[in-house]
Amino acid sequence: MTATVEPELGTSSTKRMTMAVAMNSALDLAMDRDDSVLLLGEDIADPAGGVFKVTKGLSTKYGTGRVRATPISETAIIGAAVGAALAGMRPVAEIMFMDFVTVCLDQITNHAAKLRYMSGGHSSVPLTIRTTVGEQRFGAQHTQSLETWFMHTPGIKVVMPSNPIDAKGLLASCIADNDPCLYIENISLAYSQKDEVPVKEYFTPLGEAAVTRAGRDVTVITYGPAVHTAVAAAEVLAAEGVEVEVIDLRTLMPLDMDTVLASASRTGRALIVHDAHTFLGPGAEIAAQIANDLFGELKGPVRRVGTGFSPAPYAPSGLDFHPTSDTVAAAICELVDY
Catalytic residues: 142
Dist CA 161 CA 227 (whole Å)? 10
Q: Is the dihedral of CA 258, 262, 263, 264 positive or negative?
A: positive
Dist CA 206 CA 209 (whole Å)? 9
